[in-house]
Amino acid sequence: MAIDQTIPRLGCGRSIDEAWAAIKEPPTAHENGCVQCRTARASLANLAEATRRLRDNDAEDTSLQPHHVVKDAVMNLARAEVRRGNLLPVYRGDQGGIAMSEQAIISVIWFGADALPGVRARRCRVHPVPDIADGPRPAGTADISVNLRIAVASGTDIPGTAELLRQRIISVITAHVGLNAGTINITVEDFYDV
């Protein structure tokens, strides 16, 4: 579709945009003397008022909400298609092994990070560190590596906070998952309060 780039103009040559931009200002000498400008100003001011009313009304109008079945359908689908990430082997013994979803481990990491003031844990990836030993191993000896992206409050001591965060992640993973955290890479991607 060819797009017409021309902005509508009044008979006196002014563009609608100029008239619109000036409706909150007192009329200029030209606007006072030009019938077309006066008419355009009046009808644009009228439109601006009706627009404001429609915006306020729509924002407050409780009938302008989708029926709750919409949200229910969306959430049911999201639960049916929930993303658990990869499965990580947590324990291998003679009788079989235990695996844990990446998402469950990420929740534990977020929980650990949430306790630190000024830190917001965002996207996280967890990888098993390749086994060196071939044989069975006791629980708690597998290693995982963590890549965590965070946002911090402005004014945060980033090196100090990152070290505290690393210690927190190591301790929650040990306590809740029974794994050793190997490498923990922390990326500060944002200030969340700026």
Contact residues: other proteins, CB under 8 A? 3-8, 15-17, 20, 40, 42-44, 46-47, 50-51, 53-59, 61-67, 70-71, 73-75, 77-79, 81-85, 103, 106-108, 110-111, 114-115, 120-124, 149, 151, 171-172, 174-176, 190, 192-193
Between 63 and 95, whose beta carbon lies closer to other proteins? 63
Quote the distance between the C-alpha of residue 89 and its chain's center: 30
Between 40 and 92, whose beta carbon lies closer to other proteins? 40
For residue 137, the cross-strand partners are 92
C-alpha distance from residue 161 to each of 21, 36, 103, 146 (Å): 48, 64, 24, 17
What is the side-by-side strand order in the sheet with 119-128?
119-128, 143-152, 180-191
Shortest distance in whole angstroms from residue 106 CB to other proteins = 6
Shortest distance in whole angstroms from residue 178 CB to other proteins = 11
Name, in order, each residue with C-beta under 8 angstroms of 86's C-beta and a sequence gap of 6 or more: 101, 102, 126
In angstroms, how far is the first alpha carbon of the chain from the final one?
41
Between 74 and 136, whose beta carbon lies closer to other proteins? 74
Between 17 and 131, whose beta carbon lies closer to other proteins? 17
Shortest distance in whole angstroms from residue 127 CB to other proteins = 14
Between 157 and 193, whose beta carbon lies closer to other proteins? 193
Shortest distance in whole angstroms from residue 26 CB to other proteins = 20
Shortest distance in whole angstroms from residue 121 CB to other proteins = 8
C-alpha distance from residue 116 to each of 89, 126, 156, 163 (Å): 28, 20, 11, 11
